[in-house]
Structure formats: structure tokens, C-alpha cells
Amino acid sequence: MTINVYTEQTPNPATMKFMVNKLLINGSEDFATKESAEHSPFAKELFKFNFVSGVFFASNFVTITKTDDAEWADIEAILKEFVKGAVESELKIKEATTEEAPAFEGSETEIKIQQILHDYVRPAVEQDGGAITYKSFDEGVVTVELRGSCSGCPSSTITLKSGIQNLLQRMVPEVTEVVSEAL
């Protein structure tokens, strides 16, 4: 199978999404630091580039965050070629574990919130090269964690308040606010 790689800009100018025509991972993996990539051969290799400051994998893409001193025009082709080679040589994203369907836990309201985040919000956030994780629901406040290109993105607050909060408030009347937990 020939591996094709193409890039997409994300709402976060420091990140670029590198899409491939092959499933890379079920779920997602976020490596916000070089140290966190210790058990990921793929991410570890990406961090060897001095202009890479973060790596995030989901389904058929890797989102790469660059350092402030690097320009996409200078590094995009290098990273594209690297991703292509890494996927072709089947460089592992993480050590093998068994993946299973998401298990939602908590009260009836919490399970409903998690299901909505999984079914409606997650696919949209992944389109922009990010991921969202449910953390908690307490006294009307839903706490989530944004990762990948969503972490530190200038438009993530608008996405959180205008998009996710409005959706949850319409579908789950008990929700009064959605906040993001800082990484």
C-alpha cells in the first residue's frame, strides 16, 4: 500500500495536521513534552527534530506542534517525508495495548454528557487535529481537557463556550457551564 501524506492547517497556528491514508491508532495519544514520549517510538523520533514541541496522534493523523522560532514553510516538507517513512516502516505510536469501546461511568446525567462528547464533539474536535476528554460534572459545571491542536489554541475558548457549552446546555438541561482543565 502506498502511503500518502497531506497536511491541513488547524485553528492553532503553531500546529499542523499530517493526515495519512491509513488508520494509525484507535483513540488518541498526546505527547506534550519530549519526556512524555519515552514509550512511543514514533513520537520519540519526531522530538529529535529541534523544532518539534508537541505530538498528538488520533485515528489517521498526527498533529505536530512547532517551536515559535520555526516556520512551517521551512519544516513542513521535512515532517511530511518523515511521517510518510515512519508510517511505511510501521513505526509504533505506543507499545501494544488492547483498546476497547469507551466505558462511560457515573450518574445518568454524567453518562449522557460523556456520550454526547463522544458522539458529537469528539469527531469535530478531531477534524481540527485535537482531542477532548471528559473529566467531571459537578453542580452544573462540566470539566473537560483539550489536547492536541486544541491545547493552547487561540480559538479553543470560543469552541468551548459557543460550541460545546451550547450543545450540552441544549441536550442536558442540568449543564450550566463547560470549563477546560489546564494541562
Of 91 and 78, more confident: 78
In a shared domain, residues 127 and 61: no
| 134 falls within a domain | yes
17-26, 48-57, 91-100, 121-130: segment of lowest average pLDDT: 91-100
104, pLDDT greater than 90: no
Pull the grid cell for residue 42: 514514533
24, pLDDT greater than 60: yes
* pLDDT on residue 89: 92
Domain ranges, residue 138:
108-181
Pull the grid cell for residue 8: 491541513
In a shared domain, residues 64 and 121: no
In a shared domain, residues 21 and 68: yes
In a shared domain, residues 85 and 113: no
Q: pLDDT tens digits, residue range 58-69?
A: 889 999 999 999
- In the chain, the percentage of residues whose pLDDT exceeds 90 is 54
97, pLDDT greater than 60: no
Q: How far apart are CA 115 and CA 52, in angstroms?
A: 33
* Nearest-5° Cα angle at 62, 57 to 67: 105
Domains in the chain, number: 2
| 173 falls within a domain | yes
In a shared domain, residues 51 and 116: no
pLDDT band at 23 (very low <50, low <70, confident <90, very high): confident
Among 58, 89, 120, the domain boundary falls at 89
Count of residues making up the chain: 183
Task: Return the biggest CA–CA distance within the chain.
Answer: 51
In a shared domain, residues 75 and 113: no
Among 37, 62, 89, the domain boundary falls at 89
| Cell 442536558, located at residue | 172
CA atoms within 13 A on the CB side of 84: 13
Q: How far apart are CA 51 and CA 118, in angstroms?
A: 32
Q: pLDDT tens digits, residue range 118-177?
A: 887 887 777 777 788 899 999 999 999 887 777 767 677 777 777 888 889 988 999 999
| 25 falls within a domain | yes
What is the arithmetic mean of pLDDT over 42-68?
95
φ/ψ of 29, rounded to 5, equals: -140, 130
Q: Distance of alpha carbon 181 from its chain centroid, rounded?
A: 15
In a shared domain, residues 137 and 176: yes
In a shared domain, residues 115 and 81: no
Instruction: Look at the pTM and tell me if it is higher than 0.85.
Output: no
Helix (H) or strand (E) run with residue 93 in it: none
* pLDDT on residue 83: 96
Nearest to 125 by CA among 177, 44, 180, 43: 180
Pull the grid cell for residue 98: 488492547
* pLDDT on residue 101: 58
| 68 falls within a domain | yes
Helix (H) or strand (E) run with residue 122 in it: helix 122-127
